[in-house]
Amino acid sequence: MSDSWKLVLPCTRAEAEAIDVEDEALAMLEPPPVLMTSERVADDDGAWQLEAFFDAEPDAMTVAAIRALVPGAAALDIEPEYIPDQDWLTLSQQGLEPVHAGRFYVHTENNRGDVPDGAKAFRIEASTAFGTGQHDTTSGCLMTLDRLKLSGRHFGNILDLGTGTGLLAFAAMHLWPAARATASDIDPRAIEVVRENAAVNAVRLGRGPGALSLAAAPGLEHRLLRTRGPYDLVLANILAGPLIDLAPAIADALAPGGVLVLAGLLERQRAGVARAYRRQGLRVAGRIHGEWPTLRLVKRRAAHRRSHRRRATQTGATADFGSW
């Protein structure tokens, strides 16, 4: 246990959903705060809040970076609150409820609850990486994986790109236990989180069938990622901008007939993301609707794919690619 600090800023739902966790000012903070957004008043889009938890007293630059995330609170005189003798990570998890998506049930150590009959439970703690299952993007990917299994699809070589906490890779390995699986993230800290979560959830790490290999890399710029391809299932729960930038590299890494699951995009960004992948020879085969849709695409088995590579993706990398 240790002392901690918390900053609570009122905001609107639109401001909460517009928060960019890859913001350059946030990336400069060390250690990074844990951020949570939630409703203050149920079903009131104007009554949301941003909570930032710190394990030390934040300096003026840190407070300013957090305030900049919600412009509507810029003029409010709200200062960080000292919370004595508390575990800041546990505090950040107190409002989290277990998530039941498809056949998967995701919980933290403090909120396991009753696991539904027939559900596969994963314990994923809140951390500096995303992917706990709480966000619609992650639960949408879990439901898409469940539907792929129900449809009779089989996969033998799986990539979770921008893995965050490893949850999607774990879920795919549960559904196709004989597959080779790879998980990567641009942030080396996320890879350490995946290692910890793999141990907690009895997921085997390694190079062979039924094991998960890990790599810290931007995009697909890592020897391991290149040599283990092509993949017949790629999961990419990132953000719309990086998804578009990485379209040529991801398409190249996907086997003909392979399935690509995309998330991290808003509904208003869906058409642009889908268009970027159609240009690379993929077609949209299904989606989960909502404010944060999940797209399922299939790479055509025989298609003349025109090159639409943007300058930032000539090597398959993009500067702002990271965890979701």
pLDDT score recorded for residue 23: 65
pLDDT score recorded for residue 311: 36
Label the pairing between strands 120-123 and 104-107. parallel
pLDDT score recorded for residue 85: 53
Residue with tokens 């990567």: 184
Which domains are seen in the chain, by residue range? 2-93 (3.30.70), 128-313 (3.40.50.150)
Element spanning 311, H or E: none
Q: Does 201 carry a binding-site annotation?
A: no
CA distance 235 to 160: 5
Q: Does 157 carry a binding-site annotation?
A: no
pLDDT score recorded for residue 83: 73
Contact 144, 288 (CB under 8 A): yes
Closest CA to 265 of 276, 273, 277: 273
Contact 139, 100 (CB under 8 A): no
Q: Does 185 carry a binding-site annotation?
A: yes
- Mean pLDDT in each 10-residue stretch from start to end of the chain (324 residues)? 77 85 69 77 83 84 87 85 58 59 87 86 69 68 95 96 93 97 91 94 94 93 92 93 93 97 90 95 93 93 49 36 40
Count of beta carbons in the 10 Å neighbourhood of residue 37: 17
Residues 6+ apart with CB under 8 A from 191: 163, 183, 184, 185, 214, 215, 216
Q: Does 162 carry a binding-site annotation?
A: yes
Closest CA to 277 of 123, 288, 258: 258
